[in-house]
Amino acid sequence: LEFLSEMAAGGGKARVLTTLNPAGMDIENWQALGIDPEFARQQARVIAAYAKMGIVTTCSCTPYLFGNLPHYGEHIAWAESSAVCYANSVLGARTNREGGPSALAAALTGRTPRYGLHLDENRRPGLTVQVEADLSDTRDFGALGVALGKAIESRKSKAIPYICGIPAASVDQLKSFCASLATYGGLAMFHMRGITPESDLYPAPDESLVIGTGALAAANRSLNLFPATGEVDFVSLGCPHLSLTEIQRVAERLDGRKVRKTFWITTSRPVKRLADQMGYTALIESAGAIFAVDTCCVVAPIKGRFKALATDSAKACYYAAAKNGSQTRFLPFDEVIEEALR
């Protein structure tokens, strides 16, 4: 906070479009999330410092859904791990996985060091991954990221994977995969044949790996850290932040029903405003679910408040267990909603 305040007071100004990663709270409705007032005060000071420097305080991990959409080949400097993977892989932009200070330096100078994934030679795939399983849900793509990420973590070098065998993938499925692959494999890029824009630039590497239904089932089991006699007391969708399409899906399934557990719907404020206009917010809130805008269950200070989380996000499962000591239930998107209604 002191560093940011000094930079802002010294006249630092962003020279390029810069958006902000998620905050630890809903900026406008933090009380409803049970956030400590002192924590909220400090978060507000951090956000104000960024705003003073001309940084757009969207507080989201999915800036590509509402305006910060770099073009193919554009050099950028992003810090959020899932967004970095999405930008490199799905958009064909070029960024390393920056830290907060280096991303801020890039914003203030309009420059970023020319190394790593900014260079052609470092974007070449080194491992062919043949997927021999049906993927139909964001949870499935998350499980694929777990299986592939762990397989690559166990290798001597982190080769960029060239993924084959997936006929189609939606934006929401790809953002789920990016979050999972970055979390469990530490990867900032992949190629997916016929889907990602740079996949046709390279032949499939000779070295190969097969991921089948058994590996995905094992990944699912590894994230269901939940005793048979236990009960979920916290449900969350939106890691990464939900798209408008996903919010519509939640609204349709909750219409006329009532949730029985704490249920967070996490998204960006621009997408939330569109949900307001479309009437989705009213349907969701009338069912008793809570919008947690600007934040998510990974970064919000909720340790000790909940015993067990149900989600479709492999990344959220990782941090729920590692950071908050929670048990996790890893479910398909629609089953997560049903869990909130039980």
Q: Which domains does the chain have, with CATH numbers?
A: 2-118 (no CATH), 124-223 (3.40.1060), 234-341 (3.30.499.10)
Of the given ranges (133-142, 228-237, 309-318, 323-332), which has the lowest mean pLDDT? 228-237
Determine the pLDDT at residue 148.
98
Reply yes or no on whether the pLDDT at 178 is more than 90: yes
pLDDT tens readout for residues 217-244: 999 999 998 766 678 999 999 999 999 9
Q: What percent of the chain has pLDDT over 70?
A: 99
The candidate with the shortest Cα–Cα distance to 59, out of 35, 88, 24, is: 24
E-assigned strand segments in 81-137: 127-132
Cis peptide, bond prior to residue 240, ω within 30 of zero: yes
Whose tokens are 């070449």? That residue is: 124
DSSP 90: I
pLDDT value of position 1: 77
pLDDT of amino acid 228: 62
Which band of pLDDT confidence, cut at 50, 70 and 90, is reported for residue 156? confident
Q: How far is CA 92 from the centre of its chain?
A: 18
Q: Which of 107-116, 226-235, 292-301, 333-342 has the lowest mean pLDDT?
A: 226-235
- The rounded mean pLDDT for the chain is 96
Distances (CA, A) of 306 to 298, 319, 321, 324: 13, 13, 11, 9
Tokens coding 190: 């992949």
Number of neighbouring beta carbons within 10 Å of residue 240: 29
Q: What is the mean pLDDT of residues 132-157?
A: 95
Looking at residue 229, its pLDDT comes to 62
DSSP β-ladder status, 208-212 and 191-192: unpaired
Strands 127-132 and 234-237, how do they pair?
unpaired
Segment 33-40 mean pLDDT: 96
- Chain CA centroid to CA 17, Å: 20
Confidence band of 50 (pLDDT split at 50, 70, 90): very high
Pair of tokens at residue 178: 């990016």
Is-contact 262 339, C-beta < 8 A?
Answer: no
Residue 158 binned pLDDT confidence (cut-offs 50, 70, 90): confident
Closest CA to 20 of 73, 67, 85: 67
- What's the pTM? 0.96
pLDDT digits (tens, 9 = 90+) for 251-271: 999 999 999 999 999 999 999
333 and 243 Cβ atoms separated by less than 8 Å: no
| All residues at 6 or more sequence positions from 151 whose CB lies less than 8 Å from its CB, including other chains | 185, 209, 211, 215
Higher pLDDT, 43 or 225: 43
Tokens (6 digits) for 227: 């005793």
CB 331 within 8 A of CB 311: yes
Each residue of 56-84: pLDDT tens digit? Answer: 999 999 999 999 999 999 999 999 999 99
Helices (H), the chain: 2-9, 37-52, 81-86, 100-109, 138-153, 171-185, 213-223, 244-254, 269-278, 280-286, 314-322, 333-341
- Rounded to whole angstroms, the Cα distance separating 21 from 280 reads 24
